[in-house]
Amino acid sequence: MFATKIFTSFVSNLFKIKPMQNAVLITIGDEILSGNTVDTNSNFIATELKNIGIKVVQIFTISDEIEIIKNTLKSAFEIGDLVITTGGLGPTRDDKTKKALAEFFDDEIALDEVTFEHLKAYMEKRGRIEILERNREQAFVPTKSTVFQNHYGTAPCMMMEQDGKLSFSLPGVPYEVKPLIKDQIIPYLKDKFSLNYLTTRIVSVVGIPESILADQIEDWELALPANLALSYLPVGTRVKLRLTATGIDEEFLQNQLENEIQKLFPIIGENIIATHEDKIEKILGEILNEKELTISTAESCTGGELAQLLTSNPGSSKYFIGGIVAYATQKKTDILHVSEGTIERFTVVSREVSREMADGCQSVFKTDISLSSTGVAGPGKGEDGKDVGLVYYTIKVKNESETFKLYLPHLERKDFIYFVSQKILQDLVGILIGK
């Protein structure tokens, strides 16, 4: 059955044009270079391409200048079979991508009637009857291009071809990029090209520093099959081992990965908290669903990040009942029933207040599990003069609660909140799976 599977996949691929393996992304515009915007498009596109076996091998982030765009297109086509550009297609005068595209492909720009009709319909639907000259210009595209219409904005996506290599030029707004990639470009590529499969699994390891981990699993790593690649991704609270397998049969690759991951258990099994999901809120979500446990949160210094993380998971309404952000001290007593005496005696940022917050939270929301945090995210000192970077958090599961302390004075406010929230969910996962 296994041999048949490879054969079928081989035959069905024979009818496709050619393999397409390496992609290059070009991000155009000063928003990212100036530090104003974080580039999330590249992340999204790389993930989508990876899922159909195309690997992003390089990303160029460049400014909106015709010569630079042309030179970068040249470099990109030397490296990849597929080039995707984002940005530089808005209706305003700082966008020069279209012109560079036409010059690079030795083409002219002309009005595309179909695109213009689409644009008019798009704008009329939004109550804008009068079409400005500036908008009409958006329907001008290189004459050799194939247009993929944009249903969520006014700039069309243009595909160009050169010696069997392809480029797609998209606008830069993430809300427009996502549907163009997902609903149009990915299906197009899947249809036209013979694609290799790339399958990835991530193993989350806690409690061992990267260098010691690398030593412990060295033999295992050296014995990995040639089509498997390993990367270490240290995050704040754990090390992720990413295993990527490349080949033509998806099921075979999945079995291969599972097989290698199983071999890790005799070596570092006690430190592995997940082998399927990557994000801690998803790992936790699966466990909560499986064990049919409910959860609630009482936050001070994490300011809603715990609730936000838990609810970012689709389907979280099954286990997340609710949360309270008790920022003002008074609200800790009013809503979470923390005793005033405890606060007076131990101050707000204390082990005791953290524990009472978790108790109060569990009784307000009537959940199996409650989480609490109280600390000083900074940059200013806490109400009671406690040090920036100090935090106590409590994890209460049924009747048992445990309170932890962290001191992270070197982290900026945002990183502090992120790190603490990740750590709390990670510790809860550890407790629930008995590690």
Q: Does residue 63 interact with a second copy by CB under 8 A?
A: yes
Q: Does residue 210 interact with a second copy by CB under 8 A?
A: yes
Encoding tokens for residue 188?
A: 């197009």
> How far is Cα 139 from Cα 135, in angstroms, rounded to an integer?
7
Residue 151: phi, psi to the nearest 5? Answer: -90, -5
Buried b (16+ CB within 10 A) or exposed e, 393-421: bbbbbeeebebbebebeebebeebbbbbb
Nearest to a second copy of 188, 232 (CB atom): 232
Q: For residue 332, which amino acid is it?
A: K
Number of residues that bind a second copy (CB under 8 A): 109
Residue 108: phi, psi to the nearest 5? Answer: -115, 160
Q: Does residue 214 interact with a second copy by CB under 8 A?
A: yes
- Residue choice 8, 18, 74, 94 for contact with a second copy (CB under 8 A): 94
Nearest to a second copy of 11, 125 (CB atom): 125
Whether residue 379 has a cis bond before it, omega within 30° of 0? yes
Beta pairing partners, 394 = 372, 403
Nearest to a second copy of 29, 247 (CB atom): 29
Q: Does residue 121 interact with a second copy by CB under 8 A?
A: no
Least separation in angstroms between CB 132 and a second copy? 6
Nearest to a second copy of 9, 75 (CB atom): 75
- Residue choice 70, 99, 120, 242 for contact with a second copy (CB under 8 A): 242
- Residue choice 111, 121, 328, 433 for contact with a second copy (CB under 8 A): 328
Question: One symbol per residue from 147 to 186: x for binding a second copy (CB under 8 A), - otherwise; what is it?
Answer: ----xx-x------------------xxx--xx-------
Q: Does residue 207 interact with a second copy by CB under 8 A?
A: no
- Residue choice 316, 350, 373, 394 for contact with a second copy (CB under 8 A): 316
Pairing assessment for the beta strands 165-170 and 82-86 based on DSSP bridges = parallel
- Residue choice 80, 88, 156, 323 for contact with a second copy (CB under 8 A): 323
Question: Which positions from 273 through 312 interact with a second copy, judged by CB under 8 A?
Answer: 278, 297, 299, 303-308, 310-312
Alpha-carbon 356 to chain mean position: 35
- Residue choice 40, 143, 227, 363 for contact with a second copy (CB under 8 A): 40
Nearest to a second copy of 15, 410 (CB atom): 410
Encoding tokens for residue 373?
A: 């945090």
Residue with tokens 């609270």: 237
Q: Does residue 34 interact with a second copy by CB under 8 A?
A: yes
Nearest to a second copy of 93, 163 (CB atom): 93
Q: Does residue 324 interact with a second copy by CB under 8 A?
A: yes
Tell me 335's DSSP state: T
Other beta carbons within 10 Å of 11: 9
Q: Does residue 325 interact with a second copy by CB under 8 A?
A: yes
Residue whose C-alpha is closest to residue 257's, from 214, 180, 198, 217: 198
- Residue choice 91, 246, 342, 397 for contact with a second copy (CB under 8 A): 91
Residue with tokens 């490879």: 6
Q: Does residue 244 interact with a second copy by CB under 8 A?
A: yes
Q: Which residues contact 116 (CB under 8 A, 6 or more apart)?
A: 136, 139
Question: Which positions from 411 through 430 interact with a second copy, judged by CB under 8 A?
Answer: 411-415, 417, 419
Nearest to a second copy of 6, 304 (CB atom): 304
Q: Does residue 69 interact with a second copy by CB under 8 A?
A: no
Q: Does residue 386 interact with a second copy by CB under 8 A?
A: no
Question: Which positions from 366 through 385 interact with a second copy, judged by CB under 8 A?
Answer: 378-380, 383
- Residue choice 322, 404, 430, 431 for contact with a second copy (CB under 8 A): 322
Question: Which positions from 128 through 147 interact with a second copy, judged by CB under 8 A?
Answer: 128, 132, 134-135
CB 33 within 8 A of CB 63: yes
Q: Does residue 407 interact with a second copy by CB under 8 A?
A: no
DSSP 90-145: SSSTT--HHHHHHHHTT--EEE-HHHHHHHHHHHHHTT--SPPHHHHGGGEEETTP
- Residue choice 20, 28, 59, 180 for contact with a second copy (CB under 8 A): 59
Buried b (16+ CB within 10 A) or exposed e, 134-144: ebeebbbbbeb
Stretch that binds a second copy, among 100-108, 161-169, 211-219, 258-266 (CB under 8 A): 211-219
Q: What is the dihedral of CA 27, 28, 29, 31, to 10 degrees?
A: -10
